[in-house]
Each structure stands twice: as C-alpha cells, then as structure tokens.
Amino acid sequence: MADFGPRAPHGPDMSGTHSPLQDMNLSEKEAFDSLIRPDDSYTPDGVYWADLPLLKKIKFVCKYDAHEARRELGDIWAMFKEDPLSPVSYYFRNMVLPGAGLGLEGYVLFSIGNIKPLFANAFPACWETNEICNPTWIASVEYLEICGIIVGQILVGIVGDWIGRRWGLIQDAVIMLLGLVMLTAAWGVTQNGWVICYVWSLFFYGIGVGGEYPMTATSGMENAVGSGKISTKEDRLHRGRKVTSAFLMQGWGQFFNQAILIILLLCFHHGSGNPPYSTVSAQWTYRVSFAIPAVGTLWLVYYRCFKMKAASRQLAIAKAKAQVTGYDTDSLKLTLKYFGGRLLATAGTWYANDVFFYGNKLFQSEFIAVISPQSDSIMPGWLYNLLNVGVSLVGYYLASFLIDNKLYGRKWMQIIGFLMDFIFFVIPAFNFEYYTSPEHIKAFQAMYFLSSFFNQFGPNSVTFLVAAEVFPTPVRATAHGFAAAIGKLGALHAAVMYNYISTQEKFYVVPWFGLAGVVLTFVFLPDTTGLDLKEQERRWYYLRHNREHDYHGPAVHPKHLSLWERLRGVGKYYDADLDYQQKVEEMRGDWEATMAQRAEEKEGTFDDSDLNEGLLNADVVTFFERTSPMIFAKEKYTPPSEDSSEEQLPPPKLGPDEITQ
C-alpha cells in the first residue's frame, strides 16, 4: 500500500478484521457523529428522528424548529442592521431569480383565461357566435397551448438529463422569448387567420413553458443540495422551501398579469372598464400585456447564459461517478424497475391536480359569472380573479413555510390539500341552486376561494417538488418532465370536458379527482420530508451496482417509503448501526484514495482535476482537515528543500463548498 503520509491516531485498519468504530478515540467519534449524525436529524444518543416514539418525535422536531427559526430571524435582523435592504436583496437573489422563468410563464400562461372574455366582448362575431371564425380554432386556444406544454416537458426533460440543466434553462428562455414576440405580433388578413396565428404562437410558447417545469425544479433542488458527499443543513431543513419559493413565482406571475390587464384596459379604453369595448382598445391591451414579459424574458436569456454556468454541476458529478457521457439509459431502466410506484404517484397526482388547477384557470370566467351574474362588464370578473390569485398566493407562501416541517411535510400537505378541494367542490355540487342563490352566494364564493387556497397549500406546490425529489439525479429531469406531462393531460382533459358540460356538471365531476389524489398519495408517494437527499444518492449507488441489500441508511427508513414500497419489503434492510459503520468506512476509504492521488503528484502542486470525478473527496478532505489536528494544525506543510530526501505532500486545495453544521 502506498504511504499516505502522517495520519490521525488510531487510523483506519485496512486488514478488514474489525469494525472501524474500534479505531476511534472520543474526539474522532464526536467528529464523525457531527457529520454522520447531525443534531437536526439525530438525538444526542444517536437516534434518528423518525425512529423516536410519537411524543418524543414531536418534542424533538418542535424544539429544533424553534431553534432554527430563532437563528434565521437573528440572521435577518443582523442583515437588516447592517443594511436595511439586504434581506430584500437576499430574497430576490435566492427566491425570485431562480423562479423568474416560472413567474414569466405564469404571467403569460394564465393570461389566456383572462383575455378570453375581452376577445368575446370586442370580437363577438369571431369569439362568441363563431360567425366569421372556425369554432375548432377558437376551442384549440386551450388545446394547443397545453399540447405545446406537454411537448416541452418531455423534450426538455430529456435534454436536461442528456446535455445538462444549463442548456435546458437557456433553451426554455429562448423559446419563450420567440413565442412572446410571435404572440405580440400575431396577425392575419382575416380574424380567423389572426386566431390561427395566435393559436400556433401559443403552442410554440407552450414548449418553452413546459421545459420550465423540470428545469426549474431540478436546478433549484440541486443548487440547494450542492455538491460533494457530505450534505448540509440547508438541504435537510430548507430544500423544499427553496424549491417552492421559486415555484410560487408562478402565482406572482398570475397576479401581475391580472393587475396589468386591468391597468392597460383602463388606459386604452378611456379610463373605463365598462363595455362596449372597441377592437382597437382590445388589441392594444392584449399586445402590450404580452410585450411586457418579453422584455423580462430577454433579460432571463442573458442571466441564464452568463450567470448560471454551474447549473449542471451535480448532474456532471453523477455522470462522472457512473462513467456516463450521454443520456444515462441504464439509470432510466433502473428507475422503472425500482421506482415505478413513485412514477405512478407523481404522474397520477399531478394529473388529478391539473384537472382542478388548470380547469379552474382556463374557465374561471364561467365560475365567476355565477358569483356576479348581473354584470356584462369583464371588470368584475377580473377583480374577482385578482382576489382569487391573492388568496392563492397566501397558500403558496404557507406551503413554502411548512413543506419542510417533519410533522406535516410533503405527504400530509398533499393529502389534506386534495381532501379539502374534494370537500369544497362536492358540497356545492349537490346543492348548486342553494349555494348560487343570492342569499347564499357568499358561502359559494368562500368555498371557491378556499379551494384555490388549499390547491396551492397542497397538491399544486407539492407535486412540483416531489416529482424531482423522489428520483435520482441522472433521470431527475426526465422523471419530472414525464410527471408534469401526464399532469397536463389532466389539464387537457379539463379543457376538452369543460366545453361540453355545464358549470354545475363541472362541480359534479371535479371532486372525484381530489379523492383519487388522496388515495394515490397515501398509497404510492414516499415522504421525503427531512430526508437528506445525499442519502438517496447513496442508495442509488448501491442499486446501480446490484447491491440493494448492502444499503442500510435512512433512504429505506419506513418513514421515507410509500405504503406500496413498505408492503413490497423495500425497508427490510434499514439498520442505523450498520449504516453508521458503513459511512465511516466510506469516508475513510475516500480519504485514503485522496491521499493516494496526492502522493502521485511529482511537482509539488495539486491539480483540481484530481477531484473532478465527483468532488466526493473534497468534502472528506475538508472534514479530516478540520477534525485531525495532528495532521493539519501541528504539521503544517512546508515545501521540501532541494537536498531533502523525504517527499512531502502538497497542501490540500479546498473546493468552494464548505461543510455546514
């Protein structure tokens, strides 16, 4: 064996005759515990939080969450004292910018339902009575837009796993920019020709919108996790918040679209929102409303080209470990083999959710007409929708704050959200005349708005997160894109079905999709709340090497498996003590490999390429440098003299990632 230089006392015995735990002194044991059993997931006795009895689990989680909340508030106060605007800039840098693409697509995508009543009022012969326009093309406004989204979700999901996250993000922004230019300039020699141009522009724009889903989810999640073998508290405690904070920009996009449409109509319609609406004011209103996000999307292209150069970093690490250069087809096959139930859960629940979410958005004018039946102006409907979006935003933010809570988290949030949507639709469905009568219209309105709140504070936020989170890195974008595409089939289902049934019949049909979402979530969706995502990558390594039985970590803890997986015996290998010993062996093995690489250097300099194969060793190097004072505190590196016969190792070159405790 090569001589790796000085090592810590009681260094690893490589003979394989006894446990590495026997080699540890007390300080080493504490050092390993701080990384392998961090205090946010383990008790001082080394018990994983999910293994605790219920009351102790509640006490442990509440105590640590309160401590973390105080720490974060203290950090915010310290930032505010130094610079009152620094918390705002931090929010924009870490939440707004990662979700800018979703904010822009939310602005445009949901404007279709908002603009439809304006077109119907300004161009009644085309959009209302279909006298001069083909009704098939009018109906295809919703159909082709959703078809474009489905194409984008599948296509860009594969591209994101094949070429990289960064190029997928850039491609999305460019497609959306060109689509917005087409929408703004859409024209035809007849009104029917204009509609055809408008529809195909929406289809093209929809391809970029579809790609935003897998790219924003995967890049945001992998940015939260970071690189290296040892994870951080940011991943364990705030991964869900980071991703959903980007996703909720979709809600702000809807809000600003509705607000800007109201302002533009007042500007171009002589300060009045009442009919009749001239064709000129309608054209200016909708075209300027599309030109505004085009400017933002142009900036997004620049930002992703020049400011997101490391977006594909973790994918590159995973491919280097697996020695894959193109698309990882082996990982796709293994995903189908081991995670088929998760595909059913993520795709099926997204389908059920989009019947709710997109159905309501595409046809919200008809629902609001029930609330405000006396007015022929579009302004009351727009104002009610603005209120509805405001209620939804409250749901988005509450989901972001609670999605990482170990006692509630992803799975319960989605189950309760689906269940509440079921209740709020099934009650008026069988008492429609009662709740739509003037004296009870407020109750109907409250249930409709609350269904929007629980849709965001539930399945709409959770499906976006877990469709990326429950799958391994090499196929994460593909799996997310597939689930999102199946979800858009639910939106397409709603778009087709809602054209042929009455408003009351919609309330008869929709609730059962909420109930189906409850069942699918309960049976097939694992709960990844509090799970260190690096543990899932560790398990994936064993699966790739056909050693499923050798993995004993938290990724196969019953808490983090679905009911379907538990019934199939997936969690039978979980063993906390064996997992601890295994991690110690892995970390020490990585340390030995790193020292061997450094010993091979002849020139006295350390090249980054030695750690390019995954940056696995960089974290371990940092760990030992911090926890082995005999090596790094007392024996500083000094360049060897020309007459020195003893070869000394060069100083370690640390990577950018730090191990945060």
The CA dihedral of 415, 419, 421, 427, to the nearest 10 degrees, is 180
pLDDT at 275 over 80: yes
- 116-161 pLDDT per residue, tens: 889 988 999 999 888 999 998 988 887 888 899 999 999 888 888 8
The CA dihedral of 88, 109, 416, 236, to the nearest 10 degrees, is -40
Q: What is the mean pLDDT of residues 23-28?
A: 54
454 shares a domain with 562 = no
467 shares a domain with 510 = yes
Domain that holds residue 556: 533-574
Q: Would you state the pLDDT for residue 507?
A: 84
Q: Would you state the pLDDT for residue 225?
A: 54
* Calpha distance 84→654 (Å, rounded): 33
3-state SS, one letter per residue, for 558-597: HHHCCHHHHHCCHHHHCCHHHHHHHHHHHHHHHHHHHHHH
Comparison of pLDDT for 509 and 227, the residue scoring more: 509
* Calpha distance 616→601 (Å, rounded): 19
Burial 180-216 (b: 16+ CB within 10 A, else e): bbbbbebeeeebbebbbbbbbbbbbbbbbbbbbbbbb
- 468-484 pLDDT per residue, tens: 899 988 889 899 999 99
Q: What is the mean pLDDT of residues 412-427?
A: 94
Q: Which helix (H) or strand (E) holds 222?
A: helix 191-225
pLDDT at 502 over 90: no
Comparison of pLDDT for 113 and 77, the residue scoring more: 77
282 shares a domain with 207 = yes
* Calpha distance 257→292 (Å, rounded): 10
- 631 CB-near residues (< 8 Å, 6+ apart): 6, 7, 8, 624, 625
Q: Is residue 6 part of a domain?
A: no
Q: Would you state the pLDDT for residue 617?
A: 43
Q: Is residue 586 part of a domain?
A: no
468 shares a domain with 546 = no
Average pLDDT, the chain: 82
Comparison of pLDDT for 72 and 639, the residue scoring more: 72
Q: Is residue 650 part of a domain?
A: no
pLDDT at 231 over 90: no
Q: Is the torsion defined by CA of 310, 314, 315, 317 positive or negative?
A: positive
Q: Is residue 566 part of a domain?
A: yes
226 shares a domain with 108 = yes
114 shares a domain with 225 = yes
Domains contained in the chain, number: 2
210 shares a domain with 307 = yes
Alpha-carbon separation of residue 640 from 336, 541, 603, 606, 622 (angstroms): 55, 40, 11, 15, 23
Q: How confident is the model at residue 437 (pLDDT cuts 50, 70, 90)?
A: confident
Q: Is residue 298 part of a domain?
A: yes
264 shares a domain with 173 = yes
Pick from 498, 524, 550: which residue ends a domain? 524
- Return the top range by mean pLDDT from 54-58, 369-373, 468-472: 54-58
451 shares a domain with 341 = yes
Q: Would you state the pLDDT for residue 281?
A: 92
Q: What is the mean pLDDT of residues 530-547?
A: 91
pLDDT at 176 over 60: yes
Q: Is residue 74 part of a domain?
A: no
pLDDT at 247 over 50: yes
543 shares a domain with 445 = no
pLDDT at 619 over 60: no
Q: How confident is the model at residue 576 (pLDDT cuts 50, 70, 90)?
A: very high
Q: Is residue 205 part of a domain?
A: yes
Q: Would you state the pLDDT for residue 624?
A: 54
CATH number at residue 486: 1.20.1250.20
- 91-127 pLDDT per residue, tens: 998 888 888 888 988 898 888 878 988 998 899 999 9
555 shares a domain with 484 = no
* Calpha distance 392→409 (Å, rounded): 19
Placement of tokens 């289902």 in the chain = 493
565 shares a domain with 438 = no
pLDDT at 7 over 70: no
Alpha-carbon separation of residue 49 from 41, 235, 533 (angstroms): 6, 16, 16
| C-alpha closest to that of 179 among 209, 200, 205 | 205
154 φ, ψ to 5°?
A: -75, -50
- 186-230 pLDDT per residue, tens: 998 999 999 999 999 999 999 998 888 888 888 877 765 544 445
Residue type at 642? E
Least confident window among 314-318, 381-385, 405-409, 639-643: 639-643
The residues facing 48 across adjacent strands are: 42
Q: What is the mean pLDDT of residues 250-266?
A: 93
CB 239 within 8 Å of CB 533: yes
Q: Is residue 252 part of a domain?
A: yes
Q: What is the mean pLDDT of residues 336-345?
A: 94
pLDDT at 61 over 60: yes
- 279-310 pLDDT per residue, tens: 999 999 999 999 999 999 999 999 988 887 76
